[in-house]
Amino acid sequence: MKFTIAALALLCSLNAQATTIDFESLAVADSAVHSQGASYTEDGYTLVDNASSPELQTLGTQHIYYTQSTALVKTTSYQQSTTLTNNAGSPFDLLSLDLAEWGGLPPTQVKIVGYFVAGGSISQLLTLDQLYGFQTFTVAGFTNLLSLTITQSTGKLFQLDNIKVVSAVPEVGTTLMLLSGLGLIGTISRRRRTSMAS
């Protein structure tokens, strides 16, 4: 009985897996703008540029508008939305994201829209401060999402970084490893009891 309770407690602790999509694997030490194609995948999530000519980009670490962290930018399709989804189709919560202007351009607003698994949506307009560097926007109510869209509303260009999400369902590999381990522990425990009884 104690074993079953412990196993259930461990499974419940895996129900929420926090992830920060930070694009740091794309860092390049130069001053160029680098194309990442129409989509980008990291940590079990995919971002897709919904423009007719999609192109997600990053800046080299020596670029004049690099803001001390590798981030996603869209210089050719900035008024078109970018969609974030979980690769396994699992629901997720958005906790926060970082945004920065593209070097001193007019005031920028970015609209985020979360689409719920059960239907319906939630939206929020995020206004950047026109200061150098990233702003962290912590959001509320963006829970149990099927997808999230991020769209430039005003201004020209923006940079996106450190998207913090929580997946409500453990990854398949994690669950299988956990169940295998629990099964092994149960088998060893049962054999021990049997050998002690005889």
> Exposed (0-12), middle (13-18) or buried (19+): which is 189, by Cβ within 10 Å?
exposed
Question: Taking the CB of residue 157, how many other CB atoms lie within 10 A of it?
Answer: 18
- State residue 168's pLDDT score: 74
CATH architecture type of domain 16-169: Sandwich (2.60)
- State residue 52's pLDDT score: 85
Query: Tell me, what DSSP letter sits at residue 105?
Result: P
Q: What is the pTM of this model?
A: 0.77
Kindly indicate the confidence band of residue 182, based on its pLDDT and cuts at 50, 70 and 90.
low
Contact at 8 Å (CB) between 117 and 90?
no
For the chain, give the percent of residues with pLDDT over 90.
Answer: 59
Round the average pLDDT of the chain to a whole number and report it: 84
Q: Is it the case that residue 4 has pLDDT exceeding 60?
A: no
3-state helix, strand, coil in the chain (%, to 5): 20, 40, 40
Query: CA-based angle 158:159:165, to the nearest 5?
Result: 120
Q: For the segment 109-160, what is each residue's pLDDT rounded down to a tens digit?
A: 999 999 999 999 999 999 998 888 899 999 999 999 999 999 988 877 889 9
The CA distance from 9 to 69, in Å, is: 38
For the chain, how many helices (H) and strands (E)?
A: 2, 13
CA-based nearest residue to 151, from 112, 122, 100: 112
